[in-house]
A and B are shown apart, each in its own frame.
Chain A
Amino acid sequence: MDEFAKTSRRAFLRGSAAVAAGTVAGQTAAQGAPDPAITELQDWASYLGVGVDETPYGLPIKFETDVVRRNVAWLTASPISSINFTPIHALEGTITPQGCAFERHHSGAIELSKDDYRLMINGLVDRPLVFTYADLERLPRENHVYFCECAANTGMEWAGAQLNGAQFTHGMIHNMEYTGVPLRTLLAEAGLDATGDLADKWVYVEGADASSNGRSIPMEKALDDVLVAFKANGEALRMEHGYPVRLVVPGWEGNMWVKWLRRIEVTDAATESREETSKYTDVHENGVARKWTWVMDAKSVITSPSPQMPITHGPGPLVVSGLAWSGHGKITRVDVSIDGGVTWQTARLGKQGDTKALTRFYLDMDWDGSEMLMQARAMDDTGYVQPTKDQLREMRGENSVYHNNCIQTWFVNEEGVAENVEVS
């Protein structure tokens, strides 16, 4: 064996020992043998890549095919009337790309073109009107980032820890920048002189799909921050999110964000449609149900580590990343516990919280490799503190289905594997 070979072999052994030690101790391993990814000429550094005429509209690269919406087949009778989940565990920042933002349909997603689109405003207005899509584009518009959360998000967890993944426990949410016309502008266009006292009036909003999903919204909210939106994240809405026009009802449950919006009726009473009586009402332990529970209370979840995002790098520096939001306003603070809620430390907000929008939080920690019970607890600018699951159950029982904004617990073992658990 010549000298070079001996040296190489020693270097190789040293290198693998260092890698093994690094895995255990969680420290950066010294590189023994030169890394072929660096020393060898790679195909991508030599051959040609893809031309600009290959992909007029791009999808994520093939290495990211696991970052997709998923559905839970047993939840519903049919995928046509069902929901899927945003892969929040694998996303960062706060904006949800449209292509993986959760969908919820009652009679499937429909293809409604801009040319075929009509929006009617009728009821207690001065002039019942019909708008085309082109009309909407001529009215002054605004841009706002808002979260849209299904009232049933985390609904499967009322009776106990059930689904193993942040995507499934908390993925009925997305957060986009909407471009649209304030609803108050459209109502002014139809005229509210005939409406009388606005304090006890409503708007009933209805979609154009076969489910004709409709909800009643109090006039006060309608004139406040509701948007008739036609763009999200800078581009047209996706079919599954209501192309060409959907309603945006900031801070309020997703079912009210009517997709394929076709009609707005000013009324003197709530319509009490199927979606606001038989569904989206919250049965309490005594059998009495709460109705008109529109606002989504403050909530947070650690997205990584989480069951789908185990710690793979061993002890040492660890980025704990999560999302917080409140339908009442801005997130002002998020606390994180790694011992199941005995002690808490205040996390760093990625950016100052926006009203009714997702806020990213981080805890930059040095993990010692021991077991953790990880929790996050959000606070908003009304002073509301996200409750524990036990606090919620004590107040409402286990059957309310909707509006579960409990503190979530992930158990992380010494290997870094995370699991959805409940703690005392």
Chain B
Amino acid sequence: MSKSLNLFLPAIGGTALVLGGAYGFMARDYGAKTIESLETRVEQSTASAASATEAARAAEAEIARLAAERDEFQAIAAAGGGLTQPAPVAEAVYGLGREALPEEIAAWDVDVLPDGRGLPVGSGDVWTGEELFVDQCAACHGDFAEGSGNWPVLAGGFGTLADEDPVKTVGSYWPYLSTSWDYINRSMPFGAAGTLSADETYAIVAYILYSNDMVDDDFVLSNETFFEIEMPNADGFVIDDRAETEYSIWRAEPCMTGCKDSVEITMHASVVDVTPEEEGMEEEAMHSEEPAAEDATGDAEVVEASVDPALIDAGKGVFRQCQSCHEVGEGASDRTGPQLNGLLGRTIGSIDGFRYSNSFKDAAEAGETWTTEALEAFLTDPRGAMSGTKMAYRGLSDPADITAVLAYIESIGAE
């Protein structure tokens, strides 16, 4: 902005001076009677020239002022501020968004605070809770909330917080009962969040408290008995005190030379050896081998027609959605879900030791087997096809994905 003014203002001043001079010269050729008036006009034009000079001087001053202002802006900009401004906050609101309706707030604002605000009216007892827990939670958290695999342990662990390996459970660690009610109600069961009624949530929380020996087996948790529960570790927390305990020490000029007498390696990560292999590197190696593989198939006789490798490959991709609960292939074992080797043609619900839901047990008793059609129906709508299934999965909407994933399971897990 100031740069363009710099160029423009002197040009105006110069033009005014030239015009004034030309006007004065022309005036001398007129008759005497007009001289007076012409002289007046010459005076005027001289005056106007003078005033133009003055205007030019003023303009120069303005230029100097703008240049100074520009320098100031540039200095501020160089310092990182200046023309960059935070987005304005309007005095008056923009009027965007619409009023939230009470029903909408009720649907979403369901969190529960430590003082019990947000708890709905309701109740549930320990035994109802156990039934719900075994059915809906135990696959990950164990029958007695003792945890399974890497899934969270919910019970026990009392007195371990200062140990080498603390066991942080609802009983041993969680400071507020509201947190478990709120979390289970909103975010559990894993894969079917938001499906528990208030009474069911009360019952499950009652069972978890029972598993932690915090209540007796006849306990009924409700929006009223909620306040009777004292959490053992309620006082086990301090608010962040790093500013006092650490920053005061670690805000000092650091040592630069002779900071230690000697240095020894005390531990090697390679000894622990828990770092994953470089998957990407393997993939790269596979890429570079691809041309050779193509040549090989090109030269070979056409082999017996089999399942399209691309389909199996696509199925492997789809199976990523399954593999957190199911294993398939050599050495596959049951996890949250049963292993899937020999799935096609296998009797439904037939893996020894796996705890199936009732619809699977019924199918097993009836001797039903997994056909392609049955699997397609189940994978399209798990809960529709096998009512009460514990499989927390929404299903595959694309039939092509189902075909692919079944091809993959068959290819790797055939027996």
A→B interface (CB under 8 Å): 62-63, 65-68, 70-81, 106-107, 120-123, 127-131, 135, 138-142, 160-165, 168, 181-182, 184-185, 188-191, 204, 206, 210-212, 214, 262-263, 265, 267, 269, 271-274, 277-278, 281, 283, 285-295, 297, 307-308, 335, 339-345, 373, 377, 379, 382-385, 387, 391, 395, 398-399, 411, 419-424
Contacts and interface: CB of A to CB of B under 8 A. Distances in A.
Given A210-B194, A423-B264, A308 B278 contact: yes
Contacts of A122: 100, 105, 108-109
B61 interface: no
19 contacts: A63-B284, A81-B190, A120-B108, A123-B109, A127-B99, A135-B96, A141-B87, A163-B275, A188-B93, A189-B97, A263-B109, A288-B237, A289-B236, A342-B260, A385-B251, A387-B250, A411-B268, A423-B265, A423-B266
B3 interface: no
B296 interface: no
A290 B272 CA distance: 29
Contacts of A70: 276, 278-280
A106 B280 CA distance: 25
B: interface residue count bin: 35 or more
B387 interface: no
A70 B276 CA distance: 8
Contacts of B270: 164, 419-420
Contacts of B263: 339-342, 373, 423-424
Contacts of A128: 99-100, 105
Contacts of B72: none
A46 B279 CA distance: 34
B197 interface: no
A135 B97 contact: yes
B293 interface: no
Interface centre among B104, B113, B252 (most CB of A within 10 A): B113
B11 interface: no
Interface string B275-299: 1101111011001000000000000
Nearest to A206: B111
Interface of B: 86-90, 93-94, 96-100, 104-105, 108-109, 111, 113-115, 140, 149-151, 161-162, 164-166, 168, 170, 173-176, 178-180, 182-183, 186-187, 190-191, 193-194, 236-242, 245-247, 250-252, 254-260, 262-270, 272, 274-276, 278-281, 283-284, 287, 320, 323-325, 336
Given A74-B274, A164-B270, A291-B240, A274 B187 contact: yes
Given A130-B98, A162-B272, A293 B104 contact: no
Contact of A411 (B97, B236, B265): B265
Nearest to A190: B97
B106 to A, nearest CB: 10
A344 B325 contact: no
Contact of A287 (B93, B96, B162, B239): B162
Q: Which 5 A-B pairs have the closest CB atoms?
A: A287-B162, A287-B161, A140-B87, A340-B263, A77-B150
Interface centre among B94, B161, B276 (most CB of A within 10 A): B276
Prevailing SS type, chain B contact patch:
loop
A274 B99 CA distance: 30
A76 B183 CA distance: 19
B257 A343 contact: yes
A344 B140 contact: no
Contacts of A383: 251-252
A271 B250 contact: no
Contacts of A283: 161, 166, 168
A140 B241 CA distance: 36
B250 A424 contact: no
A239 to B, nearest CB: 14
A80 B336 CA distance: 13
A206 B256 CA distance: 46
A235 to B, nearest CB: 20
A349 to B, nearest CB: 15
Given A184-B89, A265-B109, 14 more contacts: A65-B280, A65-B287, A68-B280, A73-B276, A76-B150, A77-B149, A122-B100, A161-B267, A168-B276, A278-B173, A278-B174, A286-B162, A383-B252, A424-B264
Contact of B104 (A120, A214, A385): A120
A81 B336 CA distance: 14
A67 B280 contact: yes
A423 B261 CA distance: 13
Given A138-B96, A343-B259, A373-B265, A287 B275 contact: no
B240 A142 contact: no
Contacts of B93: 188-189, 191
Contacts of B109: 120, 122-123, 263, 265
Contacts of B254: 335, 344, 377, 379, 385
